[in-house]
Structures are given as structure tokens and as C-alpha cells.
Structure 1
């Protein structure tokens, strides 16, 4: 294992422009977060209302430190209205098990 972590947050909206704006706003507020290596907004090829924000973290400790911080909720607030209500748990946390 590399120790790196990927966090996937699932969103659903027919308004691509609105979620892209929210993603950019959240990403600006996440600049400089220790241990955050980057993030992406992904759009489903099969369901154009389906989106995923995928973030890459140095390790689980860095992610948990940010998640427990006072800035966590504020920095992700722009994206919260777009969470996918069809899912019981709208996110996943995965540790990299192998990579090339």
C-alpha cells in the first residue's frame, strides 16, 4: 500500500454549469490544505446528471485532520446542495492498494 487516499463524493444535478461553479468555488477555498494533492470534477458518460468530486490525499491522517477541522464544512458548502440523494452514502474513502 502507498498510504495515499482517494475520496469520492457523488453528486447529481442536471445543471452542469451550477455544479462546475460550485466545484471551482470549493476548490479555491481548498488551496493549501495540508496533505491534499488535488481534486477533480468528473461527469458520468452514462448519466449526464451524475458527477463525482474525486480528491487525492497524501494519507488517511491528512484527510481526517482536514475533515475534523473548522474549515471542512465551509469549504465544501458550495457543493453540498448537489449531493446525490439517490445514494444512502454519497461518498467513499479508498486507500490506494496498488499503483503503477
Structure 2
């Protein structure tokens, strides 16, 4: 068993309507501004921005952490809660979902 966790945040550019390309560009720009992309965060192994191959306006932000404690330490710390750069992606969070983000624990890996 692994302690590793993967956090998935659902993003959307639905609010951009006809300006779809501008919305995608804005998500990319916001992603490059958030601290856990530009700075070293203890316990954060990697981040990745994914798009649905059938609907490029449906995006996922995936982050991989060494363990749940590392993720919670960051989430409850000043880098997340008060970090202005971290709010850059907030307008793109897909709040139409019951949960706009989920935290998965790795139970087996090969």
C-alpha cells in the first residue's frame, strides 16, 4: 500500500461562452501563476493540467502528493488559504458539480 494521494480539481471555461479560446488561454495563464506550479511545496510531487479529449472545455487539475498529511499541511497553511496566486484558478472551478475537487488515496500501484 502507498501513502500517495492524488487531488483532482474540476475546471471549466463554460463562463466564457463564445470566447472559448480566450477561456482556455486564461486557464493556462492562471495555472502558470499558482504557487504550487512555480514554487517548491513540500510533499508535492507534480501537477498536471488535463483536458477531455471530447470536450476541451472540460479540464482537470491533477496534483500528486507524497501523503495526505502533506496535502493537508499545504491546504491549511498560508500558501493556500491566503495565497493570492492560488486563487487564480478559482474562477474556473466547476462548482456545478456536487464536489468540485476530490482527494484519492493510492491503495495499490505497480
Task: Calculate the TM-score normalised by the size of structure 1.
Answer: 0.92
Q: Which one has the bigger helix percentage? A: 2
Counterpart in the other structure of 2:72: 64
**Structure 2 residue ranges without an equivalent (≥5):** 14-19
Aligned length: 98
Q: Report the Cα offset of residue 85 of structure 1.
A: 2.6
SS of residue in 2 equivalent to 1:46 = coil
Q: How does 1:25-64 map to 2 (within 5 A)?
A: 25-26=33-34, 27-28=37-38, 31-64=39-72
Who wins on radius of gyration, i.e. which is larger?
2
**Structure 1 residue ranges without an equivalent (≥5):** none
RMSD between aligned residues: 1.0
Task: Calculate the TM-score normalised by the size of structure 2.
Answer: 0.84
Asked if 1:4 corresponds to 2:4, the answer is yes
